[in-house]
A and B are shown apart, each in its own frame.
Chain A
Amino acid sequence: MRVGIPKGLLYCKYHPFFETFFSSLGAEIINSENTNKRILDLGVGTCVDEACLPVKIYHGHVASIKDSCDLIVIPRIMQVCQNEYICPKFCGLPEMIIHSIPGMPQVTVLPLYMHDKQSLYKWCLSYGSLITRNKNKIKNAFELALKAQNGFSTGISEVRKITVMLAGHPYIINDPFINMDIVNKLKAKGIGIITEEFAPEQVSESQVKKLLKKPFWTFHRNLFGASGALCRQKKIHGIIYLSSFACGIDSIVIDLIRFNLENFPMLVIKLDEHTGEAGVDTRLEAFLDMLERRMPDENNHPSYGECLYSG
């Protein structure tokens, strides 16, 4: 059996689990290519117009492999932490795909609660039985997959003279095509990068507690907490927030972070189907120049709207 695993959305976080599970059952794994222009065009052509860039690209990944597999894994990830959601589009992802792309093979539609081992096993049992009837084999594959997932981590932590926090959803940070290879661009300029995974957890928690209401999106809690913690601990000099156009979650989170950090330098880059890099490069350079000039006399700057020498 050929199992297709598209390299989009939360693939970057959870691919060891799905790949290990299906390959140890003896299925042939078919990955889509790394995101490229062809995938983007395929996605834009099939996906509903109003969706955000990562979802469109996911459609492209699926469309590019649909003819060469018998089963495509479209994880309907409902929650990754207890009582916290990701985004409504993740909850309806299989439906979006089935109704947008014609001629789909079988897809996985059962919901996944990544924090709950039992629901994961139920999912595995249901789709593993398409390949083998041997329950023990499925159980072993499941244990192996869990182990592979637990031993896997993402994130960047490189502290330099100037360090920025690279904030954004994992599927944007980890896909060099979507984010125009911003990680390497920063590295080439000698800028250090920290991502949300490396923020001290307790400080993050205390930042999140400042909110009136407990956040119900995992991305929201992570990004708000991590940016607050890294800024308060003076580990970073600025934040570069990568966001896709019309992202519902970011429209809230970015402003909450702004209100929380007040005048801390933050660059928000909105990404969409356009692939011209010049504009992004210019903005990036301007932002880094600003951080650099701010460095030597960081403590001597007047706060916003005030004048130091009024003589």
Chain B
Amino acid sequence: MKITIPHMGNVYIAAKILFDGLGIDYVIPPLNNKEALSLGSKYSPDEICLPFKLMIGNYISGIKNGADTILLVGSCGPCRFGEYSELQCKILQHLKMNVDFIVLDAVKSIGLDELFRRIKRIGNESSRNSMEKIKAVIRAYNAICILDDIESRAHYMAGYEKSKGECKRLLNSCKEEVYACKDPDKALKILRNYRKKIDCIAVDSSKNPLKIAIIGEIYTVIEPFTNLFIEDVLMDMGVSTKRNLTPSWWLKDMLLKIIKLNSRELLKASDEYLPLYIGGHARECVGEAVLASKNGFDGAIQLFPMGCMPEIVSKAILPTISRDKKLPVLSLIVDEMTGEAGYKTRIEAFIDLLERRREHVFAGN
């Protein structure tokens, strides 16, 4: 068995650490790029959302490199993500690519026994003993937590750094170094080292940079290729950004959902505007916008793929939050047509607006 996974932000690094620890053969497809996108859009339905198309692109390049099993997570609606595995499986069959799908679905839709059976299918491939397997899983979990931590610190510190671009450099070299490392224990050590390094970056605390919350659909906010590297763009502009949705947040959310203790603060914040779960992460998006204004952010940028059903609902609600809480919100919708110039202009205009707002509105001019 040779496993491949679709990309989503830094998940591939954690997956590599996991599979290295388990001793399972794997292929990590090349990071999302134009080729994956064009392959994906060619074989996917026209109106499906962007993550689906990129995933198909990832699978195809993974299969070309010898993968025969695809590992994927799932959900049980009402957002389209729950049906991804079904249609993707059919599309790959149609392309005469015979691969196994292992879908780690929500307990609610397949039951606990089936979920364990599926996890065992992966576990049985590993020749390590169960102690080592558990260790490998914990190690991978730690890795993704540390990596998310490093990333969010880098994004936030970018506004305060003394020498421009240092945070970005550090973040990029961290990812490269960890990915190049074959030994999982060593990889974890590298990550811990980098966390220390990022704390030691020289900061100018007298600065008062713009603070922007990145909110919206989980895949498009996490996967930098889909949002045209918006966080990097903002880092270059010296803006501090914060985003709540990360792979480690998702994992914690899924686990805590079983006992209904997931993201209490976010959901409480969203109660006023969207009291019910409507699928996807619409409630989280609304809650984050409310929290962003509470925590003194200057603005929020909402990102979602064209046609995303839950985010359309939250996009309808955001203008009210924007009015009530005096928080400027920019909604950016992405699809496979990536026109960078128009996109960047809108971000720049938004940043300009926030800057002038500080000078005028808050100064009382």
Residues of A that sit less than 8 Å from B by CB: 47-48, 50-51, 76, 78, 85-89, 91-92, 95-96, 99-100, 109, 111, 211-217, 220, 245-252, 254-256, 259
Contacts and interface: CB of A to CB of B under 8 A. Distances in A.
Contacts of B74: 213
CB-based closest 8 A-B pairs:
A85-B78, A216-B77, A92-B313, A91-B278, A251-B47, A88-B279, A88-B309, A48-B316
Nearest to A100: B316
A92 to B, nearest CB: 4
Interface stretch (B83-91, B174-182, B236-244): B83-91
Contacts of B27: none
Contact of B78 (A87, A212, A250): A87
Contacts, number: 125
A47 B319 CA distance: 12
Contact of A251 (B76, B80, B277, B279): B80
Given A95-B274, A99-B320, A100-B316, A88 B79 contact: yes
B45 A87 contact: no
A88 B94 CA distance: 30
B313 A111 contact: no
Nearest to A213: B86
Interface of B: 45-49, 74, 76-80, 82-83, 85-87, 89-91, 94, 101, 103, 105, 109-110, 273-280, 282, 306-310, 312-317, 319-320, 333
A88 B317 CA distance: 14
A212 B83 CA distance: 10
A251 B309 CA distance: 12
A95 B275 CA distance: 9
B313 A251 contact: no
Nearest to A250: B47
A111 B276 contact: yes
15 contacts: A48-B315, A50-B333, A88-B78, A89-B313, A96-B316, A212-B85, A213-B74, A216-B77, A216-B78, A248-B307, A248-B309, A251-B45, A255-B90, A256-B90, A259-B90
B326 to A, nearest CB: 16
A100 B314 CA distance: 11
A122 to B, nearest CB: 15
Given A251-B48, A252-B48, A51 B312 contact: yes
Contacts of A254: 45
B316 A252 contact: no
Nearest to A260: B90
Best-surrounded residue of B47, B76, B105 (most CB of chain A within 10 A): B47
A266 B86 CA distance: 21
B83 A213 contact: yes
Contacts of B280: 88
Given A89-B312, A92-B274, A220-B83, 8 more contacts: A48-B316, A85-B77, A95-B274, A99-B316, A211-B86, A216-B82, A217-B78, A248-B309
Given A85-B77, A211-B86, A216-B109, A92 B282 contact: yes
